[in-house]
């Protein structure tokens, strides 16, 4: 704009010396309204001793200086620390986004089946919970309680609990992580279990558990977890774990568990009939108990 309309041109315009064509072209330009505003301002200046051309040039210079000052002020309205704070905020929000978690849980006497982000299936037993990253989950999750997994083939899939970690590629298995009890059963493929100093590779029909601070390798004949079919089965499991599973599957509280002796149970109980389930477990283990009309259960000393 300044190259097209130099000081000589603008001075001729201000003094009315432009040709008709020059004036028409100038009025059609985008610069005309800006310079007309300047010229109108010059006309109101109280400086009669100066000629119009000199006043016009002085006004242009003043306006240019004001523009430069305004640009500096605008830039200073956003100090450097604000840019740094904005960058930190972006990083913080990005981290929050990346570390958001998704959780699924079940109550007492409840089961739930979840499809995971890669299409794998997790079926939760009663009173259980799984958690994984909402975004970029990496086929990794945390488990509290018991779940049966049908894992699609792909990269390593891992299940982490307080007691240990299970890693697989594509397989079917259960993980049970309760208070002072940990068990992994392989139904298909291969499962690697790492728990403390223990490392085991399980094939179909093999189980590994830790109970009462002892590790055990077991053979399992079932093709799928029995609790999916509304039964709980046990192979040489501490009776306290069995009684606690009764509580979970029926949503009850059994009194007198401190009276239980150190014994192991092999067998199963149904999830559909509490009276039958109590008979199956307690009568088999010769444990005295009471069961009243309000379905309150209490284990007696023996």
Three-state DSSP at 31 gives coil
Counting residues of the chain whose pLDDT is more than 90, the rounded percentage is 61
Query: Can you give the pLDDT at residue 55?
Result: 62
Per DSSP, the residues of 143-178 read: EEEEEEEEPPSSS-EEEE-SS-EEEESS-EEEEEEE
- Beta strand segments in the chain, E: 101-105, 112-115, 121-124, 129-133, 140-150, 157-160, 165-168, 172-178, 181-188, 191-195, 198-202, 206-211, 214-219, 231-238, 254-255, 264-270, 289-291, 297-299
Q: Per the structure block, which two tokens stand in for 226?
A: 């029995």
Query: Can you give the pLDDT at residue 193?
Result: 96
Q: Per the structure block, which two tokens stand in for 184?
A: 């992994």
Domains of the chain: 7-76 (no CATH), 100-228 (2.60.120.1440), 230-302 (3.55.50.30)
pTM for the predicted model, two decimal places:
0.67
Residues 148-155, mean pLDDT to the nearest whole number: 95
Confidence of residue 249 (pLDDT cuts 50, 70, 90): very high
- Higher pLDDT pick, 9 / 187: 187
- Higher pLDDT pick, 10 / 280: 280
Q: What is the pLDDT of residues 11-60, one digit of tens each?
A: 676 667 778 777 787 777 766 666 666 656 555 544 444 455 566 566 66
Confidence of residue 136 (pLDDT cuts 50, 70, 90): confident
Q: What is the pLDDT of residues 188-210, one digit of tens each?
A: 999 999 998 899 999 999 999 99
Inter-axis angle of helices 20-28 and 7-14, to 10 degrees?
110
Question: For residue 76, what are the CA distances in angstroms to 18, 84, 86?
Answer: 42, 14, 16
- Residue 229, pLDDT > 80, answer yes
């Amino acid at each position: 704009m300044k190259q097209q309309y130099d000081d000589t041109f603008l001075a001729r315009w201000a003094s009315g010396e432009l040709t008709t064509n020059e004036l028409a072209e100038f009025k059609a330009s985008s610069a005309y309204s800006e310079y007309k505003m300047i010229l109108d301002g010059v006309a109101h200046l109280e400086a009669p001793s100066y000629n119009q051309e000199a006043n016009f040039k002085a006004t242009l210079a003043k306006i240019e200086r004001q523009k430069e000052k305004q640009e500096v002020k605008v830039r200073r309205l956003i100090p450097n620390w604000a840019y740094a704070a904005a960058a930190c905020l972006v990083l913080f929000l990005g981290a929050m986004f990346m570390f958001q978690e998704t959780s699924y849980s079940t109550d007492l006497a409840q089961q739930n089946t979840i499809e995971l982000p890669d299409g794998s299936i997790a079926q939760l037993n009663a009173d259980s919970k799984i958690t994984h990253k909402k975004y970029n989950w990496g086929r990794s999750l945390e488990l509290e309680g018991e779940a049966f997994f049908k894992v699609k083939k792909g990269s390593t899939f891992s299940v982490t609990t307080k007691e240990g970690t299970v890693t697989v590629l594509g397989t079917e298995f259960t993980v049970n992580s309760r208070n002072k009890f940990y068990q992994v059963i392989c139904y298909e493929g291969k499962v690697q279990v790492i728990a403390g100093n223990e490392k085991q590779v399980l094939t179909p029909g093999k189980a590994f558990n830790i109970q009462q601070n002892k590790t055990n390798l077991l053979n399992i004949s079932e093709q799928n977890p029995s609790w999916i079919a509304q039964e709980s089965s046990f192979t040489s499991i501490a009776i306290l774990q069995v009684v606690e599973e009764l509580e979970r599957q029926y949503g009850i509280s059994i009194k007198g568990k401190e009276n239980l002796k150190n014994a192991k149970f092999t067998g199963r109980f149904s999830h559909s009939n509490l009276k039958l389930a109590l008979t199956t477990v307690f009568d088999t283990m010769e444990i005295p108990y009471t069961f009243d009309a309000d379905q309150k259960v209490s284990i007696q000393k023996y």
